[in-house]
Amino acid sequence: MAELREGYRATSDVAQDLFDLAAPQPKYRALLDAGGVVYPSEGMVLVASRAAAEAALQDPARFSAEGLVDLGNVRPLIPLSVDPPRHVKYRKILDPLFAPKRMDALEDDITTRVNRFIDAFADRGRCHFTDELAVPFPSAVFLGLMGLPWEELDTFLRLKDGILRPGGGRVDAEERARIQSETAQEIYAYFDAVLDERTARPRDDILTHFLTAEIDGERLTREEILDICFLFLIAGLDTVTDTLTCSFAFLAQHPEHRHEIASNPAVIPSAVEELLRWETPVPNVFRVATLDTELAGCLVGNGSVVTVNLGAANIDPAEYPDAFDVRFDREVNRHLAFGAGVHRCLGSHLARRELRVTMREWHRRIPEYELEPGLELEYPLGLRSVENLVLVWER
């Protein structure tokens, strides 16, 4: 293993290149060609191959998710930052709430909400897709899921940005941490007040369910519920936004794929999966090695931070011989855009529903569109998204 460990010791440029998210697929391929396990610096391991990614994500005993998220939260985010066996307790409560049949029941509400946004610009012939649809829409769906009024939309967007984009992304580390900490306290206080109201006047919604659900005779504590709500706010909203911007940016630049969807809406479920694979809006997830071990035949030291590059794993030729072809007729698509193992994305079925409904309703109403002429797409650091996607069409 020691010999293999020296197989590819990367320069700092390799890791830095991965922060340029405008066109990452060629860089992913370079990592895969280098063997799929890279050592950017001491105590860091970057995993790119499909096999190594699955091995890391499916073994929380060796590769832990605990203690890795610091976004102003004062406790671990549940269930993201909690490993088994405690993790199992929370998933038993949460998984049924996001099961496919539960998401089926939300179809009409999601459809109504996305059309409310499209109504505002459909006859205009132009929209700032990021700001006018991709950002507010997932938050609007979340409001319905939580039984909260539409009027709270601006509050949710402000709180989300205060955690994920403090200061608009233009502040130093100290100021960023200060804004996140203050926003986190506001999030806890906001949901604490709503939970007080639900305790006094229960409703048929998720927040009331959290207050009454039991596993093995135990109910969730108030702190546990607040930690779940914190995660829902930051994880469930931004990732759908990012996926929408990346997907529609791709479609706007690839008319043959756009026409395929517009002419045959039945292809939309497959199109969503393929664009999740190709765009992979959450390019990396992180784990910490809990002991000296090996991964894909390479040595990983105890305490090493393991960066699992989902974007690279999703174009690994070992899984997809035609990985660089974007195909909406792909019959088997075991992409890792939602992760893998016990920490696989809790809200994947809801995210899929939002993406499918948006793609269906948009192309039903606006089948022909393109990027605004002269637009240069901007992909910020972090999650893969387009922050300035402007689309135009004939009125």
Residues of the chain above pLDDT 70, percent: 95
Q: What is the pLDDT of residue 8?
A: 53
- pLDDT tens digits along 288-320: 999 999 998 899 999 999 999 999 999 999 999
Residue 129 has pLDDT above 60, yes or no: yes
| 340-378 pLDDT per residue, tens | 999 999 999 999 999 999 999 999 999 999 999 999 999
Preceding omega of 85 cis (within 30 degrees of 0): yes
For the record, the structure tokens of 85 come out as: 């066996």
- The confidence band for 66, taking pLDDT boundaries of 50, 70 and 90, is very high
Q: Report the run of H or E that residue 391 belongs to, with start and end.
A: strand 390-392
Q: What is the pTM of this model?
A: 0.93
> Which of 19-23, 70-74, 207-211 has the least mean pLDDT?
19-23
Longest CA–CA span in the chain (Å) reads 64
* Dist CA 10 CA 328 (whole Å): 35
Q: Which domains does the chain have, with CATH numbers?
A: 2-392 (1.10.630.10)
Query: Looking at this protein, which amino acid is placed at residue 366?
Result: I
Give the model's pLDDT for residue 41: 82
pLDDT at residue 12 is higher than 60: no
Q: How confident is the model at residue 3 (pLDDT cuts 50, 70, 90)?
A: very low
Q: What is the pLDDT of residues 168-189, one digit of tens each?
A: 778 899 999 999 999 999 999 9
- Backbone φ and ψ for 284, nearest 5 degrees, come out as -140, 145
pLDDT > 90: what percent of the chain? 75
In this structure, the strands spanning 44-47 and 305-309 are: parallel
